[in-house]
Amino acid sequence: MNLLAQEKKIFVERLNKFIEYTQTEVDKGINPGGYYKAIWSRDAAFILKDQFLSGHFKVALQQIVLIWSNQIISTERSLSLLYCNLKIKPLLYGRGSPEMDFNSIIADDNTKKKFDGALPTTIYYERGFCEVYGQNPDIDSIALMISTTSWILSNLLDLKDNPKTEPVITLSLNERVDNRENEIPFSKFSLTDIINFLIPCMLKAILYLQNRDIDNDGLLEQKHNEDWMDTILRIGKVVYSQACWILALKNFSILLRKIGNKKESKRLKDMTNRAILAVEDKMWSAKDGCYIDLLDADLHLDKKMHNRLVTQDISLYLVALTEDSINTNSTHVDSLNRREYSKSESYTNNINLDTCKRALSTLEALKKRAWKNNLPLVTETEITKTGPWLLKTNEYHNHTFWPWITGIEILARTRFGKMDDCSFLLSKFVSDNVVHSNMLYEWINPLTFQGSGAYPFRTGISSLRIAATESLKENIKYNYNPIIKNHLGCTNTSK
């Protein structure tokens, strides 16, 4: 066996070992794990996709419907089918907002009208309320749930047409769901019933997100702490948030096309193209060789953050670019045209040469600027101004290693052929056929490798499992993209 074949064998063995070791976590509901007992929409988006890939179709659908049943609606639902007779929960908002002195208040009717169509950041079942963490609902929570919901429904439609097709990972179906008192009488409803319930919910959510483009430039704006890094006080236009929006539009457009709503599917496709063009036009920095957030100058913001700090979560944009060119459950989707075309044409089914070069440059910029002690960190430098939690360096979102966002970076590197990097990053979690349990914490101090936060953190585990599943697919090799192979002269070191 030659060296490259041996390296590939070790990589595959590590992937399988990680999936095998973490398989029991898929079975434990959609809260992030550890001391997190509620449902966070953004975390659920990753855990649900992992559940689906693990064969938990019914449980994943139950919990998707449960989340959308808690959508913020300013008027009574006019839908013909309700799955849960949930009590109306109080809605709190503002705890993460410096404009509101980091204090939460109960949303009144006017506020609910402003938030109409959004999902809460968190659903606290045991405590009987929902929360929007910032001054406004966070873009990523809503968009990621639209994306995952659409992706799962779309793949279920394909499975319905081709029932012999099975997911990559097959487990026994576990019927347990969180909060049994709110369990949905699932067996009463068909897949069509569920789709008919969820489509209007997601259309309302898309409308809410559209309205977050305040200046109509194709990019969504956010206030402080309205994304997953909920102490870093980012305000303005964030690359990661645009990536979530693009993923929502792409996957929802695919679903609408499959159910025959071609007009609405085309409208979302056009919105996708506009969002991508806006990112390419406004958020690409030739000076930095990567995509950069456009943050507003603000008295609450650390000067180090302002428009030049590289954050690891820009890697999600590279995933969003390739989302419809390659699909984790790719045997279930239509074959896509992968021809090269000019920048003025649709990005929806492919990316052009310039964008491909930018993506590869971004991955290199992350290695040069955000990888420290051979670990990718969420911020390239320490942040001195945070809130509401005053963070020390190497704590929470301040210059630390997160398995969750690293799973996304591995996925991005897989799609752009950086298999050596993927193998190296995976070796931090699995080596000598042993999974390093300290790496399954919510975050890890890059100096001491000590884990902190929730354990085991299922969001990070699911993110890594999703990336591992894609890497294991035989038809997912980085030369899937003829632009990379033919125009950049890459060689496939994974063979």
State pLDDT tens for residues 22-66.
Answer: 999 988 889 999 999 999 999 999 999 999 999 988 889 989 998
Residue type, 281: D
Residue 77, pLDDT score = 56
Which of 45, 79, 70, 81 shows the shortest CA–CA distance to 200?
79
> Tens of pLDDT along 76-94?
654 444 444 445 679 999 9
pLDDT for 350? 61
Cα gap 149→143, rounded to integer Å = 10
What does the pLDDT read at residue 41?
97
Classify residue 492: in a domain, yes or no. no
Position 159 scores a pLDDT of 84
Lowest mean pLDDT among 81-85, 313-317, 437-441, 455-459: 81-85
Residue 494 lies in a domain: no
Q: Which pLDDT score is estimated for 275?
A: 98
Specify the residue for token string 């298999």.
419
Is residue 138 domain-resident? Answer: yes
The answer to whether residue 331 scores a pLDDT higher than 70 is no
Residue 229 structure tokens: 């890094």
Average pLDDT value for residue range 149-177: 63
- pLDDT tens digits, residue range 213-251? 999 999 999 999 999 999 999 999 999 999 999 999 999
Lowest mean pLDDT of 152-161, 227-236, 371-380, name the range: 152-161
Q: Which residue has the tokens 């049943």?
A: 69
Q: Is the pLDDT of residue 434 over 90?
A: yes
On the question of a cis peptide bond just before residue 120, with omega within 30 degrees of 0, the verdict is no
129's enclosing H/E stretch is strand 129-132
For residue 300, is pLDDT > 90? Answer: yes
Task: Residue 164: give the domain boundaries.
Answer: 3-487
Q: What are phi and psi of 21, to 5 degrees?
A: -65, -35
Give the pLDDT confidence of 255-283 residue by residue, as tens digits: 999 999 999 999 999 999 999 999 999 99
Q: What is the pLDDT of residue 328?
A: 37
Instruction: Name the average pLDDT for the chain.
Output: 84
Total domains in the chain come to: 1
- CATH code, domain carrying 235: 1.50.10.10
Nearest to 427 by CA among 370, 399, 468, 455: 468
247 domain residue, yes or no:
yes
In this predicted structure, what is the pLDDT of residue 472? 85
- Does residue 181 carry a pLDDT above 60? no
Nearest Cα to Cα of residue 462 among 52, 63, 136, 133: 52
Residue 150: enclosing H or E segment and its boundaries? helix 139-161
Structure tokens at 413: 């590197």
Residues 464, 429 contacting (CB under 8 angstroms):
yes
- Average pLDDT (397-417) is 96
Is residue 249 a part of any domain in this protein? yes
User: For residue 312, what pLDDT is reported?
Assistant: 98
Is position 173 within any domain? Answer: yes
Residue 434, domain member (yes or no) = yes
Q: What is the DSSP string of 23-37?
A: GGGGGS-SS-BTTB-
Residue 339 domain-assigned (yes or no): yes
Which segments of 356-462 are extended strands (E)? 371-372, 375-376, 430-431, 434-435, 443-444, 451-452
> CA 472, CA 475: separation in Å to the nearest integer?
9
Strongest mean pLDDT among 78-87, 170-179, 194-203: 194-203
pLDDT band, residue 166 (cuts 50/70/90)? very low
DSSP class of residue 88?
P
